[in-house]
Structure 1
């Protein structure tokens, strides 16, 4: 059994408006699954497919209060492309963000609801990822996160150091999942989180038990209104185990 990363989940006060921003930013299509739920995926995409990690935006009234522990890095193909993309994103409603990055070659922005993201300078490693180069998770121990997520999913671990770890689909397509060591500690429920899904025919309860044996825990909240399983990784980052598909 195994899971794979299929989407990231964002909370938003206005899911439709934030969905329009990210659809324009990525060149993706928009689909409303239900009131208060906006889905984004590449045009012509057949979900799920490792060539892309989709975005699910869920309406929630709570305001953003702290820097997100999960964000996306956008890929560029040249310095001119980076400059052009930053300008286009600002025209769509993005604003400069200071997360203590100092002088760096990438640009840190925030979307219209304040979610931080990076527009990277051109890097060869991301030349074939699509518009999202990586989904990045802040953490205290990249080695432990690579251990957990490398066993939780069937993705391939590419790099593990004390400061950084990265994984990518075993098919060698789509964005990377990266863990970056930061001094910040988790203090609130993550406003952006990972959604993973088992394969067709897998047993969801057995998969949840396997993830718990690897170190996942059960956050304390009311589960009566959901049909999927919410767990937390060894550093307390919530993630959703969706039904097999």
Structure 2
């Protein structure tokens, strides 16, 4: 099985406006190839991007209701001045400061105009080569269990496993990291921000989905109806989708 993460899926009432925010926030480009709004790093619509994860903003009728999403983006910076300037620019674009109990930390927690939390990190050497998105962070109860599932579920490489976090990255050492971080407070899994996976051309999507179920994934009914993708939850209940090859 060689499923690969191809995009971060973000739900929004106004997908065009949310897409514009993220395009400006990341310095990327905006495309609207259909009902969704895609944000990617190149001036041409290239999907999936071969070097990073794009953002696909999907329109939904309902506003965000959870106090905190179970997954969020962390943005990278290269200096203290860069961090301060980026925070100021994001706030001018419509981001707002939010308190999720982070306390006195060196990073800044903001929410996009739809209320989805994200962080602007202080400079960290680990994320110097990742691009504007440092990592996708998923709250979890058991990072080691998540490491076992996601290492088998995708072609990404497991980089670190401790009692507090599990870290994966593309085998090409490109783009952001995927990090499962232990949280002291239970965060109900939500699909407002989640990953989409895709088989490689020629692979058998049905067989890949069957393997995911054998690993502990469960089917998820979001009211999606008859669609070409398959909605699943990982063993802790975090939603994700397997797209058609």
The answer, yes or no, to whether TM exceeds 0.5 is yes
2:60 equivalent to 1:21: no
Which runs of 5 or more structure 1 residues have no equivalent in the other structure? Answer: none
Mapped partners of 1:61, 1:212: distance in 2? 30
Structure-2 change in CA distance of 1:223 and 1:14 (3 Å)? closer
The 5 Å alignment of 1:49-64 reads 49-64=49-64
3-state SS in 1 of match to 2:33? strand
Q: Deviations over 1:111-160 (max 9, x none)?
A: 11111000000000000000000011011111111110011111111111
The residue that corresponds to 2:96 in the other structure is 95
More divergent stretch after superposition (211-220 vs 92-101): 211-220
The residue that corresponds to 1:148 in the other structure is 149
The residue that corresponds to 2:183 in the other structure is 182
Contact 2:217–2:232, Cα closer than 8 Å, also in 1: yes
Structure-2 change in CA distance of 1:25 and 1:223 (3 Å)? closer
The residue that corresponds to 1:6 in the other structure is 6
2:79 equivalent to 1:78: yes
Q: Deviations over 1:186-233 (max 9, x none)?
A: 546421111001111000100000111111111244443311111110
The residue that corresponds to 1:38 in the other structure is 37
The residue that corresponds to 1:216 in the other structure is 217
Mapped partners of 2:41, 2:220: distance in 1? 32
Contact 1:51–1:175, Cα closer than 8 Å, also in 2: no
Contact 1:50–1:174, Cα closer than 8 Å, also in 2: no
3-state SS in 2 of match to 1:11? strand
Mapped partners of 1:204, 1:23: distance in 2? 31
Which runs of 5 or more structure 2 residues have no equivalent in the other structure? Answer: none
2:70 equivalent to 1:48: no
Mapped partners of 1:177, 1:188: distance in 2? 16
Mapped partners of 2:21, 2:76: distance in 1? 17
3-state SS in 2 of match to 1:34? coil
The residue that corresponds to 2:242 in the other structure is 241
Mapped partners of 1:142, 1:3: distance in 2? 20
Taking structure 1 as the reference length, what is the TM-score of the superposition?
Answer: 0.95
3-state SS in 2 of match to 1:89? helix
Mapped partners of 1:147, 1:50: distance in 2? 25
Aligned residues: 243
Contact 1:31–1:40, Cα closer than 8 Å, also in 2: yes
Structure-2 change in CA distance of 1:231 and 1:80 (3 Å)? same
Mapped partners of 1:88, 1:217: distance in 2? 40
Mapped partners of 1:71, 1:47: distance in 2? 22
Structure 1 vs Structure 2 CA RMSD: 1.3
Mapped partners of 1:233, 1:187: distance in 2? 13
3-state SS in 1 of match to 2:37? strand
Contact 2:38–2:56, Cα closer than 8 Å, also in 1: yes
